[in-house]
Structure 1
Amino acid sequence: MRIAVIDGQGGGIGKVMVEKLRLSLAREDVEIIALGTNALASALMLKAGANEAASGENAIIYNAGRVDIIIGTIAVLIAHSMLGEFTPAMAAAVAASPAKKVLLHLNRANVEVVGVVDEPLPHLVDQLVERVRVLVEGKKNHRIPLWGGH
Structure 2
Amino acid sequence: MRIAVVDGQGGGIGRAIVEKIKLEMPREEVLALGTNSVATGQMLRAGADDGATGENAIVHNMKYIDIVVGVIAIINANSMLGELSPKMACAIGESRAFKVLLPINRCNIHVVSVEEQPLGVHIDNAVRAIKDYVMKMEGKQLSI
TM-score band by shorter chain is over 0.9
The AA in structure 2 aligned to 1:129 is V
The RMSD of aligned alpha carbons is 1.0
Alpha-carbon distance, 1:49 to partner: 0.6
Unaligned runs of 5+ in 1: 144-150
The AA in structure 2 aligned to 1:16 is A
The AA in structure 2 aligned to 1:117 is E
1:46 to 41, 44, 54: 44
Q: CA contact under 8 A between 1:74 and 1:109: conserved in structure 2?
A: no
- SS for the counterpart of 1:18 is helix
1:105 to 95, 103, 106: 103
Alpha-carbon distance, 1:138 to partner: 1.2
Give the length in aligned residue pairs.
141
Q: Map 1:1-150; keep pairs closer than 5 Å.
A: 1-27=1-27, 30-142=28-140
Alpha-carbon distance, 1:88 to partner: 0.4
Alpha-carbon distance, 1:106 to partner: 0.6
Q: CA contact under 8 A between 1:104 and 1:125: conserved in structure 2?
A: yes
Deviations 1:8-53 (A, max 9, x none): 00000000000000000022xx110000000110011011010000
Alpha-carbon distance, 1:137 to partner: 1.3
Alpha-carbon distance, 1:113 to partner: 1.4
TM (norm. structure 1) is 0.91
Identical aligned residues as a percent: 49
Aligned residue number for residue 146 of structure 1: none
Alpha-carbon distance, 1:110 to partner: 1.5
Deviates more, 1:51-60 or 1:102-111: 102-111
The AA in structure 1 aligned to 2:21 is L
Alpha-carbon distance, 1:130 to partner: 0.7
